[in-house]
Amino acid sequence: MALRDVTIPKFQADPFYKSSQKALSPVGANLLQGDIPEWLRPISESGGDEFDKMLSQILGDTQDSVYGAGARAGTRGPRLAATMGRETGRISTEARFKDYMRMLEGRKWLFGQGKGITEGVRGAGLTDQSQVNQFALSAAQMSLNKEGTLDRAKARKKEQEDAFWAEIMSAGIGAAGTIAGFAIGGPVGGAFGGQLGSAGKIGGGGGKAGAESLIMGNMFG
């Protein structure tokens, strides 16, 4: 393949890069601003329907346990009610406090996720832009190298052609000097032929032609 036919390749990006960046960028920004998707919202909230269902089940199990323990101990009336209230109150308070702490940890976790996603998107964007810029610089350098090589090859070709035609012209002038010296004859013809031969000097060719002209002129003059 000739150098002129070589094409500079184009930058090839990951086909999923732009779509993933487009999807992740708003998610990270929304999490940082507290705009949490519906399916993640229970992580950042305390209470709620699911919590109430779970607490109701726990309190029901506690009441069954207290009734069972009271029956075995023969406890009835106000004493059983007091025990029931104390246990259910303690369990309810502990459950709600733990749920509140879970909510705080959930918000902390969501903030960390939003921060991580945003930093990841930004880092990936900087990396991609750096790769694009570096590739563009390399492509430009390759293009300059290609053009420079083609220009140098063109210049060498022209020099070779000029030298070729100069040699042909020199040989022609030298031959003309020989013929002129032969035609004119005598010392005058030899001197004229030598001048014509000297005018076409390339690597001694003109001098040789001139000498031949001088000899032939003296021989036939």
Statement: residue 202 has pLDDT above 50:
no
The DSSP line for the chain is --GGGPPPPPP---TTHHHHHHHHHHHHHHHHTT---GGGGGGG-SS-HHHHHHHHHHHHHHHHHHHHHHHHHT--HHHHHHHHHHHHHHHHHHHHHHHHHHHHHHHHHHHHHHHHHHHHHHHHHHHHHHHHHHHHHHHHHHHHHHHHHHHHHHHHHHHHHHHHHHHHHHHHHHHHHHHHHHHH-HHHHHHHHHHHHHHT-STTHHHHHHHHHHHHHHHH-
Mean pLDDT of 160-167: 78
- Convert the pLDDT of each residue in 46-55 to its tens digit: 888 888 899 8
Average pLDDT, the chain: 77
Statement: residue 23 has pLDDT above 70:
yes
Statement: residue 6 has pLDDT above 70:
no
Q: Give the CA-trace dihedral at 212, 214, 218, 221, to 10 degrees.
A: 100
User: Could you tell me if 217 and 187 are in contact, meaning their C-beta atoms sit under 8 angstroms apart?
Assistant: yes
Q: Of 100-114, 131-145, 171-185, which gets the smallest average pLDDT? A: 171-185
Q: How confident is the model at residue 203 (pLDDT cuts 50, 70, 90)?
A: very low
pLDDT score recorded for residue 98: 93
